[in-house]
Each structure stands twice: as structure tokens, then as C-alpha cells.
Structure 1
Amino acid sequence: MSLFKRRRFPVEIILLCVRWYCKYGISYRDLAEMMSERGVSVSPSTIFRWVQRYAPEIEKRVRPYQGHRSGSWRVDETYVRVGGRWRYLFRAVDKHGRLIASMLSGRRDTGAAYRFLRKAQRAVSDYPPSSITTDKLASYPKAILRLQDEGLLPNDVVHRTSKYLNNILEADHGALKRVIRPTRGFQSMKTAGATLKGFEVMRMVRRGHCMLRHAGVTGEVRLVNQLFGLAA
């Protein structure tokens, strides 16, 4: 398998480490110790490289299986520490809490809001939004209007500003940050972006927010393995 060419560890071990790291909110050192107890000697730095290489790949391959999303969007930003500075993680979920898209940005101006909403629109292009609920950040109305002017969002999309309606997303921010916390911050935007993709996709899979043939851990393992051509 060319994607894993020159890797001296079996593909199953690599995917297991990436999956566990992105799923359980543990440190690279703790995961290396857990693997050692299973008879696999692997360094924390090696697991880090695997996460950087394969977490985005898992996210890309799971994306077609994310299924239907409601047209009622909840959009908000939360803070993530990168290189000792606070950066912005834009996130959108539907009214049921199912992830639509996320994007790490150094800014939260109109340009960043536009890029994020454009990304979200592409992620669920078959299910255009009927409403977008945000906080009162001034960038969102301008970004939505620009997307409508370009014909990328329907003109009848309702933009609402409601903290109450965004409670579901605020709670989801907290759950995501519990997974992020053991990282103690990221070193760069590149490493943060790759890792966050893994965190987001494994939370989506774990919560059953994508099309699984089998429920629970069995379905999760089979889905990831099948995406990489491994036996079910």
C-alpha cells in the first residue's frame, strides 16, 4: 500500500495508534506506554508523525460517509493555543449536533468567516442551509451576504444571532477541548490543523454521526480499516 510505503510497522498498528490518539485525549507518551504493554515498542515521536500523516487522510476518507445534515446550521468559534498564542477554531454543526465543518484560523475577520462558510457549504453541497445561527460577530453577516451575492448560498437563508440556539455547539466545544487538553497546546498551525482534523473525525465516528454498518467500536474499527483496504 503506497500510502504506508517504507513504514516498518504494520498498517493495523499505525491506524490503531492514530485512532486511539485522536479518540481518547491522551498524550503521545501515554499512548506509547499503552502500546508497549501490548508488546509494540514505538516512540512518542513516531506516533506524532503518524498522526500528522494519517489523521487528515482518515478525515478525508470518512467525509463521503458523513451522511445527511440538517439545513439548520449552528456556527461559532472557540480558542485553541498554537505556538503560545490563541487562535480561532471555526466550527459548524447542524441542529442535532452533527459536525458540518471546522477550520483553524489566525483571524476571525470577514475573510476568515467567508472561507469557513464556503468550506462548510462545499462539505454539504447537497444539503444547502435554510438558516445559519451565529453569535454577534460582525464578520458573519458580511460573509453570508458575499456568499449570496456570488450565488453560493440561497438568498432566502435566514441568519439568526442567538446564544440559546448555539448552546448545543458551545457544549460540543467543551467536549472537544477535553480531547485537546493533553496536547498542552500545538507548536504550529500545520500540526494543529492535522491533529484537529483527527480529533473532529474520530468524535464524529464515535458518536455515530456517519454511516456505519455496525454500531459501536466494531463499526468504527471496520469503517477505518475498510477505508484503507484492510480486511473487515
Structure 2
Amino acid sequence: MQDVHGVTISHQTILNYENSVALLLKPYVDHYPYELSDQFCGDETYIRVNGRWHYLFFFFDAVKKIILSYRVSPNRDTASAIQAINDVLIKMKEIPENLTFVVDGNPIYLLAQHFFAQHQISFDVKQVIGLTNEDPVSTEFRPLKQIIERLNRTFKGNYRSTHGFGSNHGSVSFVTLFAAYFNFLRPHASLEGKVPVVNPELSGLPTMPARWTKLIELAQRWIVEQRTA
């Protein structure tokens, strides 16, 4: 901006803009009517917030490559697992009878399963244990676990340069923008170079800045429509 337009923009101004855009995009990302498959996986990774390690809970459609939950929590606990799984459930038009989540060996997911069962919501949990296939479940479902681990690595590749965040709000903004980019703007080799969520209003634009601008416009339009509905 300084070189092209002679305008000096501070680091704080950029952060403020990032937070504002994330605030607009989050409802759109969270409530978009995704077309989902029947293969879902979840995992946690680390994210540094205000000098302390927090946990980022990802849940992911392994076939469509869509991030369905991206919760940042100071705790790796059952409540966080429940909230992350609920993020997935509310995106389903109806809960399939054979719904299965593939996760790691952390017992919080079994406790979350028990919580939902008490509320008449049933699903199966397949836990992939360790790094080697020592049991039939791990052998069968490790490929799905590896898919969510690749998502974690992709996120870390984008996150590493930030050196962490000074506030929870900043971390949530960053993760929201990452999820929006991943779902709507980032081409995937496994999808033959297509983005997970194909929107004609985005795909016809020639540059990434133009697509970001249009995505923000779509999110604003969605918010207005919800308020006037």
C-alpha cells in the first residue's frame, strides 16, 4: 500500500480488518448448506494463545474436504469435544443412522458420544490408536485419520508464521479465515483442482483478491437476508 498508493497501514490496522472480516464470514461459513458425504474425522492440534497452548478441534468431511468444526479451546476436554461434534451435527439436514466419526484414542470422544446418546442422538465412534495398526479398527480407519492429520499440517503451515496470538479473539479470527479459505477458495488436488464448495459467483473470478472480496460480499448478503427473513 505504501509503494503503490502512498498509504501507510499499521500492523494493528491489519489485525482490526482481519477481525472484522472474520466476524462477517463466521456465520456464513458455519451455516452454509454444505452437501456432505458420510465420512467424517476429527482431531486436535495445538495453537498458542496469549503465551499458553490451546487446542484447535477440527472436524472434517474426508471426502468433500470441508471443514465442519474449528473450535479453539483452552482445554482438551469432553465439553470441547461435544461442542465440536455438535458443529457437525447442526450442518446435517438429518442425522444418518450409520453416522460414524473417526477420531484418535482420546476418551473425551467416547464421553461425548455418551452425552449425545442421552439426548437421543446416536452415532458410532471409531478410535484409531497410536501410530501403528495394532487392532482391526485402527487398521480399517487409519486412512481417514491420516486425512485429518494432513489438514492439521496444512493449518500449521499457515499458522507457523504468526508465532501465536495475543488473544483468544485473534486466534478465532485467524482460524475462521483459514476455514473460509479452505472451504471456498483453496483448490485441492484430490478434487481435481477444484475447491470443496463450488460457487459460480466465486469460480468465475480471475484472482484470489477478487474471490476474497466476493466471498465477503456473499457473507454480508447472507447476514442481511437472515435479518430480513
Tell me the residue number matched to 1:13.
none
- State whether residues 67 and 182 of structure 2, in contact with CA within 8 Å, keep that contact through their aligned partners in structure 1: no
Which of 221, 225, 232 is the matching residue for 2:217? 225
Q: Deviations 1:95-125 (Å, cap 9, x if unpaired)? A: 2232111100111121221122122222x13
Residue 66 of structure 2 is aligned to residue 98 of structure 1 = yes
Q: Offset of 1:94 from its aligned partner?
A: 1.1
Q: Offset of 1:219 from its aligned partner?
A: 5.0
Give the Cα–Cα distance (whole angstroms) in 2 for the partners of residues 44 and 221 of structure 1: 20
Question: What are the equivalent positions in structure 2 for 1:137-216 lying under 5 Å apart?
Answer: 137-151=106-120, 153=121, 155=122, 157-162=123-128, 163-207=142-186, 208-213=195-200, 214-215=202-203
Change (3 A) 1:220 1:193: closer
Q: Offset of 1:226 from its aligned partner?
A: 3.8
Q: Which runs of 5+ in 2 are unaligned?
A: 129-141, 187-194, 222-229
Which of 32, 38, 54 is the matching residue for 2:4? 38
Give the Cα–Cα distance (whole angstroms) in 1 for the partners of residues 71 and 33 of structure 2: 17
Give the Cα–Cα distance (whole angstroms) in 2 for the partners of residues 199 and 69 of structure 1: 19
Change (3 A) 1:141 1:55: same
Change (3 A) 1:194 1:140: same
219-228 or 100-109: bigger deviation: 219-228
Q: Offset of 1:127 from its aligned partner?
A: 5.0
- State whether residues 77 and 89 of structure 1, in contact with CA within 8 Å, keep that contact through their aligned partners in structure 2: yes
Give the Cα–Cα distance (whole angstroms) in 1 for the partners of residues 112 and 3 of structure 2: 51
Residue 81 of structure 2 is aligned to residue 113 of structure 1 = yes
- State whether residues 68 and 87 of structure 2, in contact with CA within 8 Å, keep that contact through their aligned partners in structure 1: no
Change (3 A) 1:224 1:135: same
- State whether residues 205 and 220 of structure 1, in contact with CA within 8 Å, keep that contact through their aligned partners in structure 2: no
1:224 partner SS: helix
Q: Which runs of 5+ in 1 are unaligned?
A: 1-34
Q: Offset of 1:87 from its aligned partner?
A: 0.8
- State whether residues 113 and 124 of structure 2, in contact with CA within 8 Å, keep that contact through their aligned partners in structure 1: no
Tell me the residue number matched to 2:23.
56
| 2:45 partner letter | T
Give the Cα–Cα distance (whole angstroms) in 2 for the partners of residues 178 and 46 of structure 1: 24
- State whether residues 55 and 197 of structure 1, in contact with CA within 8 Å, keep that contact through their aligned partners in structure 2: yes
Q: Deviations 1:133-152 (Å, cap 9, x if unpaired)? A: 0100011011012112212x
Change (3 A) 1:194 1:121: same
Change (3 A) 1:139 1:117: same
Which of 80, 83, 101 is the matching residue for 1:132? 101
Change (3 A) 1:226 1:128: same
| 1:173 partner letter | N
TM-score, normalization by structure 2: 0.75
Give the Cα–Cα distance (whole angstroms) in 1 for the partners of residues 21 and 213 of structure 2: 15
Tell me the residue number matched to 1:15.
none
Give the Cα–Cα distance (whole angstroms) in 2 for the partners of residues 177 and 166 of structure 1: 17
| 1:136 partner letter | G
